[in-house]
Chains A and B, each alone.
Chain A
Amino acid sequence: MPQPSPSPARVIPIRPVPAESSAEPRTVSLYQKHRKIYPRSVQGWFAHWRWLMVWTTQAVFYGLPWLPWNGRAAVLFDLAARRFYIFDLVLYPQDFIYLTGILVLCAYALFFFTALGGRLWCGYACPQTVYTEIFLWVEHRIEGERGARMKFDAGPWDAHKIARKTAKHAVWVAIGLWTGFTFVGYFTPIRTLWAEAFTLDFGPWEWFWVNFYGLATYGNAGFLREQVCKYMCPYARFQSAMFDRDTLIVGYDAKRGDPRGTRGRGTDLAAAKLGHCIDCGLCVHVCPVGIDIRDGLQYECIACTACIDACNGVMDKMKYSRGLIRYDTQNGQDQGLDRAGPLRRVLRPRVLIYGTVLLLIAAGLVTSLALRPTLKVDVVRDRTTLARIVQQGRIENVYRLQLMNATEQVQRYRIGVQGLPGVQLAQAAELEVLPAQARWMTLAVQMPPQSAQVLGPGSHPIRFEVAATGHDTTHVSERSTFLIPR
């Protein structure tokens, strides 16, 4: 453990971990055996919020595939048919731009909230945090509190230990498999999958993904835990680019806390030359990434606020005011701002720019989703038969149209052509397309010889106008060309 020392005002000091004994150069391994972290459970205001987020995210993740909607799952990504259902939306692979929009939106939301509140995502919403929280809860129920778990792990492998460990891993595997099952349930209707589960009748890919995702959950939340954040997560490393000195961080108030030390209740602090920190170590014990927050801001800190809750409990017992460890900003700590100080500095250029871009993208995405036509048309001109002359010297071009119905009702579409004098379809064309299906049709477009003479040989732009008949008034205009031969 790093040695405690008073935190200077402006810089976060890099404190090399002191070697155990001699100052002699020696050979050490560049790889280190992993030391298991035993976080102590914690109650408090922020713990409630964290558990609320666990419940919310998991209710959405586990619940959505079961929610019925228009006679199917509310959210279903049908990869085989290449249709993606999200509530009332029916998306085609051609709609991938919306996914891009959503991802850009997520990125900016991350930037915005990080600039404002630090690692809010890491501490409350990231699946790695959430599943670790759930798995830790299971571990706590079965193996006991931090001290008990440490003793338990150090103890001999007797029947009691084997039974407990088996129980814990069984529950973990069950949660993992249920997570894997739910994940696959977004791609295969989950009710079908549920029925298949009883007869073990999964397809090969369903087997693979249920187990792969289950194993990943079990491994990440059961064993890797904080190491994912420390060694693997790229976001953990580039977030510092979004921080500034007015970003909320979880920090220890060294001015108030130091010098640390044990004391009896009611000790005269001035006489004993002590700060408010009683050096109980609870903030270290509850930390899921195994750091001491009193050493200042560290890259390992995922801002889970467990140390705030733990310290506040101690402060209450000691009858000191809360907030020795608290959400504060670097400037707030250094300049001794009051609680409202950081709030007055929220409107910084960084926050305003992230916020504006976030709003613009969100507005653009919502608008384009709301205004998107529920019909897509692809026009493919016949490439080899360029043009031909039919009865009465009329010029004819042939096109293949693909009509994609993005509604869940049967639609009848009327097709017209416009854009050149005299241009018209050889035959009136209507096509019925089944719900969420695409259909091809071949069309001939004609032009009287008089118009062709006026226009002259070559390629001329035309438009196919496709409109839904019935109460849906979707209308799509798709461009193509009409060729007049020499």
Chain B
Amino acid sequence: MSDFFSSGWSVYVAVATVLSLAACLALLLIAARRRVMAGDNTTGHVWDEDLRELNNPLPRWWMWLFVLTLVFSAGYLVLYPGLGSMRGELDWSSLAQHQAEQARASADTAPLYAAFAATPVPELARNPQAMAIGERLFANNCATCHGADARGSKGFPSLADADWLWGGTPEQITATITQGRQGMMPPMAAAVGNAEEVREVANYVLSLSGSPHNGIAAQLGRAKFAACAACHGPAGKGNPLLGAPNLTDDVWLHGWGEEAVIAMVNKGKTNVMPAHGTRFTAPQIHVLAAYVWGLSRPAAAP
């Protein structure tokens, strides 16, 4: 892509650059020889009664430094981009340099990552070097949503407990990072019934984990739970294939208490974990998966 709307600007810049260099050289040549009043070695210019301008010559090598800068400029403009939009003989660009440096860095770390990739996740989770890299990858990429301690927040699942929406095996974690996940709870009010029936189901759901609830309402809601069982299972244990959460543990990703559960049944919710397959290389994902896998298994920590 051109840097300019019209190539005329490029020519304009190039001409201005060359003319400026030529002007510098001309100035140097003109200034190198000058008429000086010989009698007292002043220019003859007297002002403020007795101030005179003396000729205090610079050393000649100083002038050659000036010439050197001109030669350098010419050489630079031939080799590197600078003269309008000319690319220069070396065809250098900051983008190409950046890419070359990245390629070199990847090549440098390749053997390390190759060794990591060949190590199974449970073993890798005990490797302090890999986990230090994993921690940095996590802090820079995952902590934005899941928190620096991976314990998440409302709507963002904790990765440090044993409760896994999509499964906690190394393969499942790798798949989650690579492809992302989209969990969808449809609005279920129509399937459950009226507002009172929704409240009863909510109390039944709360009873599953032994959370504070209305026992009578929960008893009444048990039958209505059939509508939920399709995804959450008849016992409410959830289904990692669908990302349907386990309702029997005391983990409340989208809010705790009767009100929050009623709201969820009524409105449903779509929650997305974006895919990171293009952001990382496969060995990086492997290291990250090992780090995440190890978070909920302190015994496996290095």
Q: Which positions in A face B, CB cutoff 8 Å?
A: 14, 16-19, 22-34, 227, 231, 382-389, 396, 398-400, 440, 442-444
Contact = CB atoms under 8 A, between A and B. Distances in A.
B45 interface: no
A316 B247 CA distance: 108
A19 B41 contact: yes
Interface in B125-173: 135, 139, 143-149, 151-154, 156
A450 B55 CA distance: 85
A445 to B, nearest CB: 11
Interface string B28-60: 000111111111111010000000101101111
Contact of B33 (A22, A29, A231, A388): A29
A280 B186 CA distance: 109
Contacts of A28: 33-34, 36, 38, 55
Nearest to A17: B41
B92 interface: no
B252 to A, nearest CB: 9
Contacts of B144: 383-384
- B interface, by DSSP: helix, strand, loop or mixed? mixed
B37 A25 contact: yes
Task: Pick the most buried of B55, B139, B153: most chain A CB atoms within 10 A of its CB.
Answer: B153
Given A382-B147, A385-B152, A442-B149, A31 B32 contact: yes
B256 to A, nearest CB: 7
B63 interface: yes
Contact of A25 (B35, B57, B58, B148): B35
Nearest to A230: B59
A30 B33 contact: yes
Closest 10 CB pairs of A and B: A32-B57, A23-B39, A385-B147, A385-B153, A31-B60, A442-B149, A16-B40, A388-B153, A442-B148, A19-B38
Contacts of B146: 385
B64 to A, nearest CB: 9
B149 A25 contact: no
B54 A32 contact: no
B62 interface: yes
A231 B56 CA distance: 11
B139 A31 contact: no
B32 A382 contact: no
Nearest to B54: A16
B5 interface: no
Given A16-B52, A27-B36, A442-B148, A382 B57 contact: no
Given A31-B62, A34-B60, A400 B41 contact: no
